[in-house]
Amino acid sequence: MASIEVRQLHKRYGRITALQGLDFFAEDGEFFCLLGAPGAGKTTTFRIIAGLERPDMGEVWIGGELMNLIPAQRRDVAMVFEDVALYPHMSAFDNIAHPLRLRRLPEGEIRRRVGEIAELLRISHLLHRLPHTYSGGERRRVAIARAMVRRPRVLLLDQAFTDLDAKIRQEMAAELKRLQRETGQTMIYATHDFEEAVAMADRILVIREGRGVQVDEPQVLYDRPATAFVASFLGSPGMNLLRCQAIPEPEGTRFIHADFTLLSPVQLGEKREVLLGIRPEHLQILLSRAPGSVEAEVEIIQPLGLERIIDLRAGPFVLKAIASIDLPLQLRQRVWLLWPPEHLFVFDAATEERIYPK
């Protein structure tokens, strides 16, 4: 196993800029995740690490060794693509054994290794079946087994669960995390799904337009997003953000929006345009008016077992809240919203950087 470091990666395809100075470091044995919207540069990053593409600028280091001039076949990096591309005429055993046979390992060693990885991934029952008989999750397991059986220094998984339904994705995420812990394999997973990343990763790098925005443990990213983009991207639903004028007052700050005014004890110290943020689980819904509350109308109710996601229209904008099923709500009902000051976030409207809490 090995660490991975990329330094100032740049890559363009004609007029399209895929990467703009991307940096990150993944520890040996770490489960690291690249989280970003489609087109953020995740797949390009993987192709450069694997040696399938050359960067215009920047460096790739694996296990402390510079890889830029090392061909793909000598980097000892395995990659699982979104399209798993199993050989349709081969059984699971032969698909998994294929990279070992290319290295001309003894047949006894091949059988031992395939058996071990099949048992780890719980696919021993598939070894003599053809790919057309597998479920989506089973196809993924076979593809991961094929990548891991040769014991690469680094395993890259590019949106490997994208086409699976939600239940199977959750099961596969748990299985992959278990496998990573048992083997100590260095894994880097690319996804646009926040929940998928949080379920598996030791650390997450949020990528936006080919740049790294923030890297940290999942809970730290959620609790202390460095930018409004990170705040809105992490969470299901993401953070509510409203553009306001922040006016300092002796007792705190008055946030002025076209449709409401909110006085908060938050101290910002100067007048500026900001993005005022609060997560849906912290936005309080009241059935009667209270001091400092904002009037809204219930627009959509989405049941989620013991909780519901509520869309609330306040003037021209919609806020999302997570409410208990015990709170009696109906469509088009008038309610009032409170923004607890201890849960407020404030971002600079121009730079989108967090200015509160510090």
- In the structure, what pLDDT confidence band is assigned to residue 47 with cuts at 50, 70 and 90? very high
Q: What is the pLDDT of residue 317?
A: 86
Say yes or no: 17 and 128 in one domain.
yes
Tell me how far apart the alpha carbons of residues 59 and 7 are, in angstroms, rounded to a whole number.
5
Would 90 be classed as within a structural domain? yes
* Sign of the C-alpha dihedral computed for residues 176, 181, 185 and 186 taken in this order: positive
* pLDDT at residue 309 in the model: 96
Is residue 144, in this structure, part of any structural domain at all? Answer: yes
pLDDT score for 255: 92
Residue 82 pLDDT: 76
Which domain CATH number covers 305? Answer: 2.40.50.140
Indicate whether 267 and 216 sit together in one domain.
Answer: no
Q: Are 96 and 87 in contact (CB under 8 A)?
A: no
C-alpha–C-alpha distance, residues 164 and 253, integer Å: 47
Residue 83 lies inside a defined structural domain of this protein:
yes
State pLDDT tens for residues 11-38: 999 999 999 999 999 999 999 999 999 9
Is the pLDDT reported for residue 45 higher than 90? Answer: yes
Q: How far apart are CA 331 and CA 300, in angstroms?
A: 7
| Residue at which a domain ends, from 179, 197, 225 | 225
Co-location of 166 and 214 in the same domain: yes
Structure tokens belonging to residue 12: 């363009």
Q: Is residue 233 part of a domain?
A: no
Q: What is the largest CA-CA distance in the chain?
A: 79
Of residues 178 and 52, the one with the higher pLDDT is: 52
Please report, rounded to a whole number, the percentage of residues in the chain having pLDDT higher than 70: 100
CA pair distance 265, 5, nearest whole angstrom:
43
302-340 per-position pLDDT tens digit: 998 899 999 999 888 899 999 999 999 999 999 999 989
pLDDT value for 263 = 84
Q: Which residue has the tokens 């050359």?
A: 54
Residues 30 and 165 grouped into a single domain: yes
Number of CB atoms found within 10 A of residue 259's CB: 12
Are 321 and 312 spatial neighbours (Cβ–Cβ below 8 Å)?
yes
Q: Are residues 52 and 191 in the same domain?
A: yes
When pLDDT is averaged across residues 335-352 and rounded to a whole number, the result is 94
Identify the DSSP state of 131: G
Contact 263, 292 (CB under 8 A): yes
Q: What is the rounded average pLDDT for all residues in the chain?
A: 92
330 and 220 within one domain: no
- In single-letter form, the type of residue at position 2 comes to A
Scan for tokens 């790919």, then name that residue: 131
Q: What is the pLDDT of residues 218-228, one digit of tens each?
A: 999 999 999 99
pLDDT at 84: 78
Q: What are the helix (H) ranges across 16-91?
A: 42-50
What's the DSSP call for residue 284?
E
In a domain, 232, yes or no: no
Are 213 and 348 part of one and the same domain? Answer: no
Q: Is 316 found in the same domain as 214?
A: no
Peptide bond into 218 cis (omega under 30): no
For the chain, how many structural domains are there in total? Answer: 2
CA distance 170 to 176: 10
In a domain? residue 230 = no
**Dist. CA 323–CA 317, nearest whole Å:** 19
Regarding whether 317 and 189 lie in a shared domain, the answer is no
pLDDT band of residue 140 (cuts 50, 70, 90) is: confident
Q: Which of 176, 194, 225 is the last residue of a domain?
A: 225
Instruction: Please name every residue paired with 276 in a beta bridge, in sequence order, or none if there are none.
Output: 242, 346
pLDDT value for 280: 96
Residues in the chain: 358
Percent of the chain clearing pLDDT 90 (strictly above) = 71
SS (H, E, C) 313-339: EECCEEEEEEEECCCCCCCCCEEEEEC
pLDDT of residue 224: 95
Q: In what order do the strands lie in the sheet with 240-249?
A: 261-264, 252-256, 240-249, 272-278, 345-348, 354-356
Task: Give residue 90's pLDDT.
Answer: 94
Which CATH number do you get for residue 88?
3.40.50.300
Choose the final residue of a domain: 196, 225, 254: 225
Collapse the DSSP code of 118 into the 3-class scheme (helix H, G, I; strand E, B; otherwise coil) and give the result.
helix
pLDDT digits (tens, 9 = 90+) for 231-271: 999 988 999 999 999 999 988 899 998 878 888 888 888 89
When mean pLDDT is compared over 75-84, 207-216, 268-277, the highest value belongs to 207-216
Q: Looking at the structure, tell me whether residues 218 and 301 fall in a common domain.
A: no
* pLDDT higher than threshold 80 for residue 10: yes
Domain containing residue 96: 4-225
More confident residue, 66 or 180: 66
- pLDDT tier, 129 (very low <50, low <70, confident <90, very high otherwise): very high
Give the CA count within 13 Å in the CB-facing half-sphere of 351: 9
Query: Number of helices and strands (H, E) in the chain?
Result: 8, 21
Identify the pLDDT of residue 262.
84
Tell me which residue of 294, 290, 279, 249 sits closest to 267, measured CA to CA.
249
Answer yes or no: is 326 within a domain.
yes
Strands annotated E in 142-198 = 154-158, 186-191
Residues 221 and 307 in one domain: no
Task: Classify 70 as helix, strand or coil.
Answer: coil
How many Å apart are CA 177 and CA 196, to the nearest integer? 11
Same domain, 257 and 192: no
- Establish if 234 belongs to a structural domain: no
Q: What is the mean pLDDT of residues 195-212?
A: 94
